[in-house]
Chain A
Amino acid sequence: MSSRIPLPYAPRVLELFQHPENLGRMEDATVVATAGSPACGDMIAFYLKIDEGKSVIIKSSFESYGCASNIAAASQLTIMIENKTLEEAWNITWGEISEALGGLPKIKTHCGSLAVGALRRAIRTYYKETNKALPDWLPPDLTRDEHHALEEEALADKLAKKYKLNVPSDE
């Protein structure tokens, strides 16, 4: 193709943007994690309420500083993980989110990836904070989506440093 015009959003993205499900801070969350960075223009906070005995996600919610597809991807993921075991939630891929959203434009696939990164970070944080033994399904090394989140944060640091040159000092 000679054209580089990204495809417009699928209707589901717009629907979830207009009426996001599970939006907002959760006061009684078992665990919270964020991914992304304001410098890159997208950041997701993920809240999980976990039934610790059954290792099941009772409910989840999100906040998003990001574009419409970022918001929709995070919201879609909260829907997909409801009443799922932590293992089932862990195994959800950005491809599945994208599919559920009717296909994200190629340039926006990182939005789905960032949502997965935030969720996985939350699950990892849960095991770390509660000092539970790592289950077999939880790889000790970071997965690709978690790396994606890290890479974006590293890029943000780089950008922030670059732009700092231009930022007038507060003194």
Chain B
Amino acid sequence: MSNVEDLLQQHGTPPKDVYLDWENGSVIDKEVLDAMIPIYLEKTFGNPAITHKVGWETYDFYVKAKTTIAKPLNVDPQTIALTHSFTESNNLAIKGLLPMYKKKKKIIVSEVEHLSVIHSAKSLFDRQYNVDIVPVSNDGTINLDVLQEKLDDDTLLVSFQTANHEIGTIQPIKEALEIVKDKNEDIFFHTDATAAFGRIPLDFNELGVDLATFNSNKILGPKGIAALYIKEGVKLKSLYEGQLSVEILSPDVENPALLAGFSKAVEIQFRQFDKLKADITKLRDKLLYGLLTSIERTEINGPSGERRVPDNVNISYLGCEGEALTVECSMNGIYVSSGSACSSRVLMPSHILTAIGRKPEEAHGSLLMKLNRLNTEEQVDYVLERMPKIISRIRSITGGIEL
């Protein structure tokens, strides 16, 4: 692997570093780390299920931390199950439900769900389950008329995301829920709220959703911890076997340090939520509309305005191949991702971009940028200054090739 060092040397040091690939990985807040360190080093590091002082102290911390996490969602702390990732939460919501409610055999998901939802649902094919996939409009909005048609007496679960992680579409979850529960109160509704949590106001209690996924890392908390909201009375079976623990559905030894980080991240994100939301939206609009107006032959992926999550910028640059774009961006110190085939390990363009009707060559030229509270206006100005040159260089390599 030594040539990676040579590769980095060849890459060189760009004049600035602007990290916008929050979708694929993020740092944690300094404040979050500060909350975690004492738990690694000195206190409440124990097992909350054990009957001694350290155990009880840990249990006390555990309850308080979960209360912090539950508060902005307006739910009871008891309804929050901790998992290791939003992928696990999505798997648990779908696969964990089946053994508890065996009679019904149909699951409905949308075409633009995260692959952890789509693949979880499709993995049930060989267990005689039907999976219906609901299409979306060309801004990524789930088609509720189709949902209405697909619902039947055999439907066990509907799983629709709250917002799309790639193109930022805020989904009509409230309306979808009404349709589902009107059809039959017993049909479960799961929402993957990973891309919405900390971006738009969420009230799972008022919404009346049965299951909801959200995670820590997407709000600058540590990786390795996420949650599944489980409405009281909804039964799930753990995906794997282990020891008796406080987290019945994740039967491992608890990790209080990660929980401390998660709860601190929630605390920070919701401290001045309205202001944070307004600031990010302003920064997002500057970046999004700045790029669209300064660069020709671009197309916005997903909706504009209020129906888009505040942190998402996704644009297709026609005549550019996205993987080459991410490399050229990197040379300029701008770190982003693309929905192009060459950027994926399966060499297929993003299923979300094709679902909204993007032609393959439009999907290949897409770049996803996300913003959060660590990004500054100065960084956005830098990106706006650099991007036209980046695009024009990649287009010059494409040259006269007709697409």
Q: Which residues of A contact B (CB under 8 A)?
A: 4, 6-11, 14-15, 17-18, 20, 23-25, 34, 38-43, 45, 63-68, 70-71, 102, 107-108, 156, 159-160, 163, 166-168
Contact present for B6 and A163 (CB under 8 Å): no
| Least CB separation from A160: chain B residue | B360
Contact present for B3 and A10 (CB under 8 Å): yes
CA distance A64 to B358 in the complex (A): 21
Contact present for A67 and B324 (CB under 8 Å): yes
Q: Which residues of B contact A (CB under 8 A)?
A: 1, 3-4, 6-7, 9-11, 135, 138, 319, 321-324, 327-328, 331, 340-343, 345, 347, 349, 354-361, 364, 396-401, 403
The smallest beta-carbon distance between A11 and chain B, in angstroms, is 4
How many inter-chain residue pairs (CB < 8 Å) link A and B? 117
Contact present for A9 and B342 (CB under 8 Å): no
| B interface SS class | helix
Contact present for B323 and A14 (CB under 8 Å): no
Chain A residues in 8 Å Cβ range of B398: 63-65
Contact present for B345 and A41 (CB under 8 Å): no
| Least CB separation from A4: chain B residue | B345
Contact present for B361 and A71 (CB under 8 Å): no
Partner of B355, one of A38, A43, A166: A166
Contact present for A23 and B357 (CB under 8 Å): no
The smallest beta-carbon distance between B316 and chain A, in angstroms, is 12
Q: A11-B7, A39-B360 given as contacts; is B345 within 8 A of A65 (CB)?
A: no
Contact present for A42 and B327 (CB under 8 Å): no
CA distance A38 to B363 in the complex (A): 10
Contact present for B321 and A9 (CB under 8 Å): no
Chosen A-B contacts, 8 in total, with CB atoms closer than 8 Å, are: A4-B345, A10-B7, A11-B6, A34-B401, A64-B397, A66-B321, A67-B343, A168-B138
Contact present for B342 and A41 (CB under 8 Å): yes
The smallest beta-carbon distance between A2 and chain B, in angstroms, is 15
The smallest beta-carbon distance between B242 and chain A, in angstroms, is 22
Contact present for B324 and A45 (CB under 8 Å): no
Contact present for B342 and A38 (CB under 8 Å): no
Contact present for A45 and B401 (CB under 8 Å): yes
Partner of B342, one of A17, A63, A67, A102: A67
Q: A14-B327, A45-B399, A63-B401 given as contacts; is B361 within 8 A of A39 (CB)?
A: yes
Contact present for A38 and B360 (CB under 8 Å): yes
CA distance A147 to B252 in the complex (A): 52
Partner of B397, one of A40, A63, A160, A166: A63
Chain A CB within 10 Å, residue with most, of B10, B322, B397: B397
Contact present for B397 and A20 (CB under 8 Å): yes
The smallest beta-carbon distance between A120 and chain B, in angstroms, is 18
Q: A18-B331, A163-B360 given as contacts; is B321 within 8 A of A67 (CB)?
A: yes
Chain B residues in 8 Å Cβ range of A42: 321, 342
15 extra A-B contacts, CB within 8 A, seeds A14-B11, A45-B399: A11-B7, A23-B396, A40-B360, A41-B321, A63-B400, A64-B398, A65-B397, A65-B403, A66-B324, A67-B342, A67-B343, A68-B324, A108-B342, A159-B360, A163-B360
Chain B residues in 8 Å Cβ range of A45: 399-401
Q: A41-B340, A67-B324 given as contacts; is B360 within 8 A of A8 (CB)?
A: no
Contact present for A68 and B323 (CB under 8 Å): yes
Chain B CB within 10 Å, residue with most, of A41, A156, A160: A41
Chain B residues in 8 Å Cβ range of A67: 321, 323-324, 327, 340, 342-343
Contact present for B399 and A38 (CB under 8 Å): no
The smallest beta-carbon distance between A107 and chain B, in angstroms, is 6
Q: A38-B364, A63-B401 given as contacts; is B3 within 8 A of A168 (CB)?
A: no
CA distance A102 to B323 in the complex (A): 19
CA distance A43 to B354 in the complex (A): 20
The smallest beta-carbon distance between A28 and chain B, in angstroms, is 15
CA distance A66 to B398 in the complex (A): 8
Chain A residues in 8 Å Cβ range of B340: 41, 67
The smallest beta-carbon distance between A74 and chain B, in angstroms, is 9
Contact present for A8 and B323 (CB under 8 Å): no
Partner of A163, one of B11, B359, B396: B359
Contact present for B360 and A102 (CB under 8 Å): no
CA distance A96 to B345 in the complex (A): 24
The smallest beta-carbon distance between B268 and chain A, in angstroms, is 32
Chain A residues in 8 Å Cβ range of B356: 166
Chain B residues in 8 Å Cβ range of A7: 1
CA distance A14 to B5 in the complex (A): 13
Chain B CB within 10 Å, residue with most, of A4, A24, A67, A68: A67
The smallest beta-carbon distance between A154 and chain B, in angstroms, is 14
Q: A14-B327, A24-B399 given as contacts; is B345 within 8 A of A107 (CB)?
A: yes
CA distance A107 to B196 in the complex (A): 33
| Least CB separation from A18: chain B residue | B331
Chain A residues in 8 Å Cβ range of B322: 41
CA distance A42 to B322 in the complex (A): 10
CA distance A163 to B401 in the complex (A): 22
